[in-house]
Structure 1
Amino acid sequence: MLPATSLRVPRLLLWSLLAGAPLHAQTATGAATPQLQLSADGSEVHDLRARLAWPRCLQGMQWRQQRCEGTPQRLSYREAQKLAQSLQQADGLRWRLPRAKELQRLRQQAAPGDEATLLPGVPGDWHWTGTAAVNAAAVNPYSYDQTGPARNRLAAQQAWAVDWATGRADGETGRANLLLVRLVRPLPAP
């Protein structure tokens, strides 16, 4: 049996393991390399671990002169999904809404000090995700039948969103709400 002291895990390591996203990867030489890197033109942040490309600016904004200019667009869930489809058709890249965990990891990796540098001008507000609702069968939202077990009868009209200020994900966001959008696409194979 091992002594209790040998089972201790440093808090930062434990937190990193629980979060599922190390802040740096080890190279063959043992040196740490950042997980997030800027694209050659500076308009995207590349997550090397997850193999994802994120625009530095929210939808509605443009990357110009080393900053995000314009006003972030607020869209309903349906509008955000249609936007991803139309961009995919326009440029042939596989744009989509990020999964909740992907958006949370981006927020976490772009630490508060780096966030303004990597992702400038991000309001601390809710962002749409493409995370599917579990057990979201079509239901009649006007049925008040209480004979069955308690369950969320509005799940089909809700979607997942992430609060950028806190990192909290919520699966009960009404799809008609107007939220911020940051699309994502896979990085090409190396």
Structure 2
Amino acid sequence: MRRRVLWCAVVLASVNAWAAGKPASADWVPSSDGVEVVDVHARQIWARCVEGMQWDGQTCHGEPVLATHKEALALASARRKADGLDWRLPRVTDLRRLVNETGARRGLSKALFPAAPSDWYWAGTANVDTSSGAAANPYNYGTVMRGQDNTGLNRMAFLNGWAVDMASGDARGDMPKRTARLPVRLVRPQD
């Protein structure tokens, strides 16, 4: 029942946008209250504003929270508990889709995500297979200093996290989790 109501809201928003002379994307539609953006194709719901900012009916206002990776995970957990919905940090692929497919030429759609910082955002991706298959030399000082060995090939990887540049869609897995302070945008599955 809830899915049918949400789908009707998505269709109604598309019809209203078309009637107002504004281009509507079939895949990206604001929720009826405007607080969220529904990605119909991926069946995901995005927070329209980054954490720390609020939707006022027209735009996002306030100051974005700049968080370490641990703080970003805590923000998702707190919102999940407060709303009772499955909010989480988006994966790299989620954020890249957000940047590349919301209808903007480069970066986020300003109509869907107004006042969004064009910056690197934290991703919840834990690991991307980057193994080369080559064994590390445990007697090489450089290998030891980087934390590499034959069992983990990079044991220090837990110090770095994944982030996506919301202006370009570029991703990197070497963002220092403890010291980098980045904006946070949350996503949840469509019910």
Q: Does TM-score exceed 0.5, indicating one fold?
A: yes
Q: How do 1:5-84 residues align onto structure 2 when only pairs under 5 Å count?
A: 34-84=26-76
> What's the CA shift for 1:51?
0.7
2:190 to 180, 187, 190: 187
Q: Residues of 2 paired with 1:69 and 1:146: CA distance? A: 45
Corresponding position of 2:81: 89
Matched to 2:31, the amino acid is S
Q: 1:115: which partner in 2?
A: 109
Q: Distance in 2 between matches of 1:145 and 1:156?
A: 11
Question: How far did residue 111 of structure 1 move?
Answer: 2.5
Name the counterpart of 1:29: none
Shift of 1:154: 2.5
What's the secondary structure of 1:161's corresponding residue? strand
- Deviation of the 1:38 alpha carbon: 1.0
Q: Distance in 1 between matches of 2:95 and 2:68?
A: 18
What residue number does 1:166 align with? 168
CA separation in 2, counterparts of 1:68 and 1:135? 36
* 1:104 aligned residue (86, 96, 105): 96
- Residues 97-147 of structure 1: CA deviation (Å, up to 9, x unaligned): 0000011101111222681111111221000010012479xxxxx846788
- Per-residue CA distance 1:2-46 (angstroms, 9 max, x = gap): xxxxxxxxxxxxxxxxxxxxxxxxxxxxxx961111101011110
- 3-state DSSP class of the match of 1:107? helix
In structure 2, what is the Cα distance between the partners aligned to 1:157 and 1:145? Answer: 11
Partner of 1:116: helix, strand, or coil?
A: coil
1:65: Cα distance to partner? Answer: 3.2
- Which structure carries more strand by proportion? 1
Gaps of 5+ in 2: 1-23, 131-143
Q: Sequence identity of aligned pairs in percent?
A: 43
TM-score of the two chains, using structure 1 as the length reference: 0.72
CA RMSD in angstroms, aligned pairs only: 2.8
